[in-house]
Every structure is written in structure tokens, then in C-alpha cells.
Amino acid sequence: MATPEAGTLVSTIDVGARIDDITDATGWLGTLADEQGWPDATRFALELSLEEALTNVVSYGFAGTDRQPRIRIECWRLPEGRVAVRLIDNGVPFDPTSIAEPVVPDSIEDAKIGGHGVQLMRHFLETLDYNREGEENRLTLVAKPAG
């Protein structure tokens, strides 16, 4: 599995824990995509996956706690054209990789609202890896190689 430590740290950003702060993260990633010349598929996969992961963190990571949110995002350039984004937060423990695939509903009446974010991340990414280190969730998103 490609890990960030096998590559070069390109950029980091600290973001707030409100829904509107997600725009800061996706804007930062879009600028990196332009600067680094990522293929459209890499950009879309990482932007979508970062948004899905960050939406979970800001929606549920700090609910019912009085801890001061700390959310940091790192972008790593890996060998063989891969790009990794790592999301580090001090919210409650949450492992998105443990979420079961939603059942594909037969009708709109049966369709459940929610649960599709992790499904999309699994599809568009090569690697979705989680670990808990101390008080931090660490979620690594690796895009499929270009081409």
C-alpha cells in the first residue's frame, strides 16, 4: 500500500470545524491541483473524497464534546504519479473504513438518506486507510495513478 511517508510532503492547511470551512479545504486542494498539474480524474477523486471525509468530521467529530477542534490536512506526492491526502483531526474516534456498503435500494421510497460518502470514496480512491494515534483520527486518501 502506498503510504504518505514514502513520498514528499507538498503542503498542509489547518481548517475550521464548520460546514462552510470545507470550502477552504477544497479550494486549497484545487490550487494544488493546478500548481502540480494533476489529471482531472486525480483532482476529482481527491476533492470528492476529502469533502466526504471532512463533512463527517465537522458534522459528527466534535458533537457533544467540549474539545477545541484541530483539523489539519496534508498533501503528499508519492512515487509513480500517486497523490495522497491525509486528514488529521482530534474529534471522537471514527473509522470510515468500518462503514458497511449501503444496500442499493429498489425504489426511492426504500432509499436511505446518507451513507453514500464512504461508498464514493472507496470507488474513486486506490487506498482509504484509517488509524487512531493518541487523540487523533488519521485518514489517508490515495488517488489512483494517473493514466
Partner 1 sequence: MHIEREQVGSDVVLKVAGRLDTPNAKPFEASLMEVVSMTDGGIVVNLAGVDYVSSSGLRALLVAGKAMRGAKRKLALSSLQPQIREVFDISGFSTLFEIN
What are the residues binding partner 1 (CB under 8 A)?
A: 19-20, 22-23, 26, 40, 44, 47-48, 51-52, 54-55, 102, 104-105, 107-109, 111, 113-114, 116-117, 119-120, 123
Q: How far is the CB of 24 from partner 1 (least distance, A)?
A: 10
By beta-carbon proximity to partner 1, the closer residue of 52 and 89 is: 52
Nearer to partner 1, 100 or 113 (CB): 113
**How far is Cα 67 from Cα 138, in angstroms, rounded to an integer?**
17
Phi, psi of 134 (to 5 degrees): 60, -120
Q: Give the shortest CB-58-to-partner 1 separation in angstroms.
A: 9
For partner 1, the closer CB: 32 or 54? 54
Q: Tell me if 57 sits within 8 A of 91, measured CB to CB.
A: yes
- Residue 28 or 44: which CB sits closer to partner 1? 44
Please tell me the distance from the alpha carbon of residue 129 to that of residue 96, in angstroms, as a whole number. 9
End-to-end, the C-alpha distance of the chain in Å comes to 19
Q: Cell numbers 471514527 correspond to what residue? A: 94
Of the pair 9, 19, the CB lying nearest partner 1 is at: 19
| DSSP structure class, residue 63 | T
CB of 124 to partner 1, least distance (A): 8
**Rounded least distance, CB 23 to partner 1, Å:** 5
Contact between 47 and 28 under an 8 Å Cβ cutoff? The reply is: no
